[in-house]
Structure 1
Amino acid sequence: MELATRAGSADALYLTPTGRIVLAEFKLWRNPGARREVIGQILDYARILASWDYDDLERAVRNRTKRSPFDIVSEAHGGVQEQDFVDNVSRRLRRGEFLLLIIGDGIREDVEDIVSYVQEHSGLRFNLALVEAAVFRRADEEDLIIQPRVLARTELIPRTVLIRKTMLKETDDHPIEEHEPSPIEDENERFWRAVLKDFAFDDPEPEVPEPSRGASVWVKLEGSGHGGWGISFGAFLNRNQSSIGTYLTSRAGFPEERRVFDEMVSALSSGEEPASSLDGWKRWSNSTGQPRIGFNRSTEFVDGTAIRDFDEAVEWMREHFNRLVSTLHPECRRRLHTKR
């Protein structure tokens, strides 16, 4: 049943006998707003849940059910050991290891784009599934047949987990295993640690991201849509195109955020402030057409893995990441809260 969090009430929380945690959101997809907002909603719930310990979870469950999580699970599944259950749930809360389910009656639009976005912005160890629940009625009968179909799920990405065998069925006592980082992931982490060591933006508002094994790190604009990701800043390594860079982008489907992005492009193109602070800026789009403005440069990767001029690339990224975010972040905030 619903689980109350600071970000609102998640539609359903499930706990398995081995301590796996599942959050589910149910939506009718007739409403375009629901399609846009549900991803941000469930990520917000996951972010809040990852800040809890077992006592926080037990308190929330007791407030809703008058029973502890262990009592509920052990009643449905015999042989559950309380200490093992509590330890497993605690570990997964601490590490953000969740299965997130978004269940609707017709999930068809922009599935690849949604999954790609979640992969890029994820800082938690979760798997996401989009499930279409088709409903059929037998002829001349009242019975309904509900057929769930898994449409998409996240690929294994740095700092996530791989769930063996099946997503929805308990298969053993240890269904989650971590993978060893690849050489590219090690190089990514080495680069981001060097970039972000003792790093601070001149603008004190945005949070400095954590080092990542992924090819990108991100800064969101608090107050923008999609849980703050309606407008965001990215910094990236692109081995396929032998480049590195940093940029501002806006999320599709959020008109106010896109208005702000377009205003920034117009101001920079016309030479208005803050153009003088961003000399050499560029405009481009990624492979899915998402617009970007910022800086990029050619960079050689040795054997497609390590940056050849590592120290120079680190200094370039520190300078341009700070310049872009510190210049445009306050402008975006101001424009976002100024209606035309």
Structure 2
Amino acid sequence: MSQIFVLSSENRLTRLDQADYDSEDLLQRLLADHPDLIAAAFGIDSLLLVRREAGVPDGQGGVDRWSLDHLFLDTAGVPILVEVKRASDTRARREVVAQMLDYAANGVAYWPISKIVEAFKATCAEAGEPYEERLAAFLPEGADEEGFWRQVESNLTAGRIRMVFLADRIPKELRRIVEFLNEQMRPAEVLAIEIEQYLSRDGLRTLVPRVLGATERAQAVKAVNDRPEETEEEWLAALQERHGPEARTGADQVLAWFRTAGFLIDITPSRDAITFSQQRPSGKRSWPFFIRRSSGKFETSLQYLQSDPAFAAPERRQEILDEIRALVPGKITTTKPTGWPAIPLADLGRLEVWDGMRAVVLRIKETIERE
């Protein structure tokens, strides 16, 4: 067993010996009570505990099938999924990896933002603390609560999450798996954290966290995501430079109308598109509309639309496709009800084209709202 020493201001030396945790539950409680243990390992100031034993469903609107040890959020709204195992638990080497991938794959797909907010409120209620106060204390000064939850939802949709395996000691087999996964995955991160415990004879305890898996190769792969955030105006200026002022005028018109109509507007992680989404009655978001910078076109994703119950039937989506094709004869090559019919933004400056496209969007929006 290794040792560390603490030298007091009175020049008294105290020896602390490395010690195993008495139980996995103790390690979990320490983490729930002191999120700074892993925040420090990430080099950030703080984390927000959403829920200990967070339920994870295996289908849309389904009951919880799994239980994640901890769900945290950072101030950028990135979900952090933590699974805790002691090194003495041999499952830390194999089973826990499959468990985490189950949690991540299904959480990203089936966690409505309303469920995450409710879980956070339940955690605050159990602690006897108003959730508004805890959230306000966590967020940077001047941050908007609604905007924060929108960012959480956007990160989930984009798969921008951190998966963390936490133990008192990380076996070398698990470490290599984590390094491999982290090098392959983007924008998700896969990391392991060791939190070694040292105890003195008189009860002094020292906890030492250490991050594993953040190899140079993994950091290089993910470097594209470290670019500064692009503002909407910067995005539009780049669109105009590539496709001209008529495309910019069409994009401005689309953005203004969608904003007035109550859609949520986001720039995708790849920076190539602006998305327009709406919340379904189930709590999940529907993402059928895009402005694509690389093509200079306004797109309707029939592929994404088929996940909405009202448009699951190919015939319903074919009707939409036929109507969009008729707005700009000869300019849309898509023929399948799983395609992405796209209208040049410059063409949306023509009143008859814009009025027709707007009518299609409104009908889709109202149909989804009635689901």
Shorter-chain TM range is: 0.3 to 0.5
What is the TM-score of this pair, normalised by structure 1?
0.42
Name whichever structure is richer in helix by fraction.
2
Larger Rg: 2
